[in-house]
Amino acid sequence: MPRTTTPPKAPAKPKAEPRAKTIAQAAASAVADDERRRAREAAAKATPTSSALFPDETPAAIGSAIGAWWDTAGPLPVPRRSIKCPFCGGAAYPRAWSIYRLTEHRAEYRHRLAWRCDVSIKCHTCAAVWAHGLAITEAQAAQFGANTTALHAASYDWRQARDRLAGYLER
């Protein structure tokens, strides 16, 4: 059986020379670069406004935003979708729930959403941990197991949460 031989490679075509910029093009490009740099610097120096940094949402808007991401109808909030780690893209899972009331001196919160449920998420690939802080009503805090009369917080690790959610998730 005759052995096939690889034909010799054709010589690579010489690459086209980049077109030399004219002096006018180079100058225009330098001016555009300078304008972009100045715009970046101006944006970095701009003083952020209070309303941009601290948007004051209504409880209804907050509830609606949370509801899009979180199912809060059960015994604990659970994410409505699978969560990917923002650092490595790995799969991440809720690992701890902490329900607590905002401190007494913030009286202005009493008529709004005075309770929080912080849900910690952990990436199973790179071990990053972060929290989502859900603003919740007092009724929801009670639904998630906090003793709202005594202002007692509640917290659950993932095993406790799994037990608590078993009847809800497997319904």
Q: What is the spatial distance between Cα 50 and Cα 61, in angstroms, rounded to a whole number?
A: 19
What is the 3 state secondary structure string of the chain?
CCCCCCCCCCCCCCCCCCCCCCHHHHHHHHHHHHHHHHHHHHHHHCCCCHHHHCCCCCHHHHHHHHHHHEECCCCCCEECCCEECCCCCCEEEEEEEEEEECCCCCHHHCCCCCEEEEEEEEECCCCCEEEEEEEECHHHHHHCCCECCCCECEEEEHHHHHHHHHHHHCC
- Region 57-96 residues binding Zn ion, contact defined as CB under 5 A: 85, 87-88, 90
Q: Enumerate the β-bridge partners of residue 96.
A: 120, 157
CB of 117 to Zn ion, least distance (A): 23
Residues that contact Zn ion, how many (by CB under 5 A): 8
Choice between 69 and 130, CB closer to Zn ion: 130
Choice between 119 and 141, CB closer to Zn ion: 119
CB of 129 to Zn ion, least distance (A): 10
Q: How many residues does the chain have?
A: 171
- Letters for 10-49 (x = contact with Zn ion by CB under 5 A, - = none) are ----------------------------------------
- Region 112-151 residues binding Zn ion, contact defined as CB under 5 A: 123, 125-126, 128
CB of 83 to Zn ion, least distance (A): 10
CB of 87 to Zn ion, least distance (A): 5
CB of 126 to Zn ion, least distance (A): 3
Choice between 63 and 94, CB closer to Zn ion: 94
Binding site for Zn ion (CB under 5 A): 85, 87-88, 90, 123, 125-126, 128
